[in-house]
Amino acid sequence: MPFMTIFNSIILLFYASMVQANAIKHSNTDLDWFAATPEQVESAPCKKDAITLEKVNRAITLQINKAPRVDREIEGLWLEQQNSTMLDHLYDLLVPKAFDKKKIDDSDVRRAVNGGCRDIFCVLDTVFGYPQGRYIFYLKYKYGFNASHVAFNNSVVPTEEGLQAMIDGVSLYPDYIFPLILDQNKQMTKFKRGYYLKANGNNTYANALITFYDLWSDQGRYKKEYLVFHEVAHYLGEKYPNLENQWRDFYQCGQDENAVECYPSLYAEKNSFEDLAESIAAYRFNAKKFKKNFITSRANCCI
């Protein structure tokens, strides 16, 4: 059965929840904390080859060289004969969101201005550093996610390995999903070390805004990819709000104290929003087990 056939049946309204590492009360001690292990992410069916700098540079060069080529001013930078669409993406990376404009340190952009950058590659390397700027641009134009520390407050340039995990985590979804037509500038940032949203703490990996914290940075490559996939599942839920009540009711079916294996993971027991994200992950990384155990068991729970 195609991925989206089941995926479309388990989407609901986005909720700004966070992925935590602390324990919660649960009914089934045989479940793992998350719906998939790093080993399952590494060996996931139809997993694309890991992103490389060579692939990123080749893809960006191909896009930049396309017509139409125009001159444009962005934040004091004068860009000459660059692809118009790619300049739109650069604009999103360099211009702070409205609510963050007064808080953003634009010194990296000023350095590019003072350095006389006239092309996209120069701006990326000066503002974000090499090779991180190339990965950030690829993530933006290819998938619609913005990892710029200039666009969002309290953010830093992620490491190369962190950006690779972001890209590979998003690429675990089918190609035709991203970028979303109505939202091609979605936040996906790494917070400054020691920074968290007020509702979170140092035991939190990430938040569905989508922001990643220090604990995420401390994980291995495939655990990072899983957490990216999980947070993107929350984000996609925002785009399918009509099924919110259906999934919430479905979640409640597993709350019976006698219910067995009604959730794909321990974390899914937390609330219906985490249940949704974990169910999407369970289907992506272990579809046969998910369809056999959890869908069947949940149906029995709901009788």
Domain ranges of the chain: 1-45+221-303, 48-171
Average pLDDT in the chain: 85
DSSP run (H or E) holding 79: strand 77-83
Confidence class for position 21, pLDDT limits 50, 70, 90: low
pLDDT of residue 140: 98
Supply 4's token pair: 């989206």
Q: pLDDT higher for 279 or 166?
A: 166
Query: In angstroms, rounded to a whole number, what is the distance separating the alpha carbons of residues 4 and 13?
Result: 17
- In the chain, DSSP assigns E strands to 18-20, 69-74, 77-83, 145-146, 155-156, 186-187, 189-191, 204-207, 211-212
**Within 10 A of 49 (CB to CB), how many other CB atoms are there?**
8
Contact 180, 240 (CB under 8 A): no
pLDDT (tens digit, 9 = 90+) per residue, 109-140?
A: 999 999 999 999 999 999 999 999 999 999 99
Residue 72 has pLDDT above 50, yes or no: yes
Q: Which amino acid is at 232?
A: V
Output the furthest CA–CA distance in the chain (Å, rounded): 68
Contact 106, 60 (CB under 8 A): no
Is 0.85 topped by the overall pTM? yes
Query: In angstroms, rounded to a whole number, what is the distance separating the alpha carbons of residues 203 and 199?
Result: 11
Q: Hunting for tokens 């007064």 — which residue is that? A: 102
